[in-house]
Structure 1
Amino acid sequence: MQSPLTLTRDKAADLGWRLFALSWIPFIGIFSYVLYPVEEWLPPVSVVCLVLSLSMMIGGIVLILFSLSARTRRNDTVRQTGEQGNAVVLSVADSGTRINDHFVLNVGLRITPTFGPAFETIASQIVPIYHMVQIQKGNTVSVRYLQETREAVIEFD
């Protein structure tokens, strides 16, 4: 069982985006210099707002990058230790993320293992543009999966 303080990739991404969005609030405070006399180059309030805003932005970006690398590491683990099988594509949804002009897709799959009941899962992974034709609803694709966690990764030729 995971500790409630464990930072999963989904929590990290959500927290990162929220932190980045909220960083714009103290950013507005940087412009408080208009309320101060011209003799002061940058008032202390502006400096504090600048430091706080930049810290929140950098923290948000670090959390977002952490979530992306955690997903990649997890997919690598599934590729190395998972069982090989076939799956039917049930759905395809764009995650909104692009990495080196390749789409990161959330692909709904129905996996039928050799032993045990069929199960449905969502594989979230980078799909190169030249493999997009394989990822269509109703197509059968090769996958690696972990039966215990029901995680899957699509394998491309």
Structure 2
Amino acid sequence: MIQSSQAFLFLETIVTCRYCCELMFMSNKKSAASWGWRLFALSWIPFIGIFSYVFYPIEEWLPPISIYCLVISLCMMISGVVLILVSLSSGASDNRRIRQTGEPGQATILSVQDSGTRINNHFVLNVGVRIAPAFGPAFETVCSQVIPIYHMAQIQKNNTVNVLYLKDTQEAVIDFE
């Protein structure tokens, strides 16, 4: 017969796994990465429960509470890592989709911020732009993309750059070609 604490831990594991799976399909990649790091950090709390075996007799290999803590901890760790990887890959696929289906236009650079990421010694910048489509109202968005070093001179406040953008989602990428 399952004890009430074991049943609670088992239920908590199921709820955590379900919640993590729902988060994996979030459209906001920053939110997914944030939740991934939180899950990974919090996974160490049930990990400590694995060492509860010291309070049980030596004859028992591993008490059930330790097994449940191990399952919860592993679910949280794996879900956190998956969320982080999904958020990293979604950024590249978003930019590719915008380049394939986006409309060309002109944009004025409003702000330039370093994201803190480098890829092959190129900066990944968050560039705030105001896009004025030929038809429709102007809108502001942030382009987060790799900027090659030889294009850094173009990325300055109040400069005009070519962009590809999607009207419906107001996403954009800077077009250096």
The normalised TM-score by structure 2 is 0.70
Match of 1:138 among 127, 137, 158: 158
1:20-31 maps to which residues of 2 (within 5 A)?
A: 20-31=40-51
For 2:26, the equivalent position in structure 1 comes to: 7
Measured against aligned partners, the alpha-carbon deviations of 1:66-96 in whole angstroms (never above 9, x if no partner) come to 1222222222111111111221211123345
Letter of the 1:73 partner, please give it. Answer: S
Other structure's SS at 1:15 match: helix
Report matched runs for 1:97-136 at 5 Å: 97-99=117-119, 102-136=122-156
Q: How does 1:6-155 map to 2 (within 5 A)?
A: 7-10=26-29, 11-37=31-57, 42-99=62-119, 102-155=122-175
Offset of residue 8 of structure 1: 1.4
Say which structure is richer in helix: 2
The CA distance in 1 between the partners of 2:118 and 2:74, in whole Å, is 25
Shift of 1:40: 5.2
Larger Rg computed on CA atoms: 2
Instruction: List alignment gaps of at least 5 residues for structure 2.
Output: 1-21
Name the one with the larger strand percent: 1
Using the TM superposition, name which of 76-85 and 136-145 deviates more: 136-145
Structure 1 CA distance for aligned equivalents of residues 73 and 119 of structure 2: 26
Q: Deviations for 1:115-145, whole angstroms, at most 9, x for unmatched residues?
A: 3332211112233455444333223222101
| 1:39 shift after superposition | 5.5
Q: Give the root-mean-square deviation of aligned CA atoms.
A: 2.9
Question: In the superposition, relative to structure 1, how do residues 40 and 61 fare at CA in structure 2: closer, same or farther (>3 Å)?
Answer: same
Shift of 1:62: 0.7
Q: Is the CA contact (8 Å cut-off) linking 1:9 and 1:71 kept in structure 2?
A: no
